[in-house]
Amino acid sequence: MRERNGGGVLQVFTMTDSKYGAILLQKQLKELLKNPVDGFSVGLVDDSDIYKWNVMIEGPSDTPYEGGFFPAILEFPKEYPSKPPKMTFKTPGFWHPNVHSDGKVCISILHEAKEDKFNQQEKMSEKWRPILGNVEERP
């Protein structure tokens, strides 16, 4: 569904439309590059793949991670934002309660919002629940 909106085109996407995810990721990456977050930087692994990002996290002050730099890969599924990204640290082996020994991040907010029969303590409200909006696409 397309609607005219001034000089651009306002595009409305469904949750299953993978083009929405690509446009949203481009917008989010552009915003992070324009307005960096302290202690956190991002870039694409390959300029032709918007779904795979390099991430660098600086260890926060006054924590055991202070002074450390923690590179990771953030992989977004084609169904993003309907499905959550997966994050894997490139240098596994450091201890963190939400990081497996192989570097994979395991935290409820990055789990799909579905019932998990193996983890009854995790509430549905703690899982991935995207809020979708409109993305403006310029011709």
List pLDDT tens digits, range 102-126.
Answer: 888 887 666 665 555 555 555 555 5
Structural domain harbouring 29: 2-137
What pTM did the predictor assign?
0.68
How many whole angstroms separate alpha carbon 43 and alpha carbon 68?
A: 19
Angle in degrees, CA 11, 77, 15, rounded to 5: 35
> How many other CB atoms sit within 10 Å of the CB of residue 48?
7
How many whole angstroms separate alpha carbon 137 and alpha carbon 115?
A: 35
**What Cα–Cα distance (Å) separates residue 75 from each residue in 2, 7, 17, 54, 58?**
29, 33, 18, 9, 19
Residues sharing a CB contact under 8 Å with residue 46, sequence separation 6 or more, in sequence order: 52
CATH of the domain at 63: 3.10.110.10
pLDDT at 110: 65
Task: Point out the residues that are catalytic.
Answer: 106
Structure-block tokens of residue 124? 């549905």
For the chain, what is the mean pLDDT? 77
Q: Is the pLDDT of residue 20 over 60?
A: yes
Q: Is the pLDDT of residue 75 over 90?
A: yes
Mean pLDDT, residues 3-10 taken together = 41
Cis peptide leading into residue 81 (ω within 30°): yes
Domain count, the chain: 1
Coil, strand or helix: which one is 29? helix
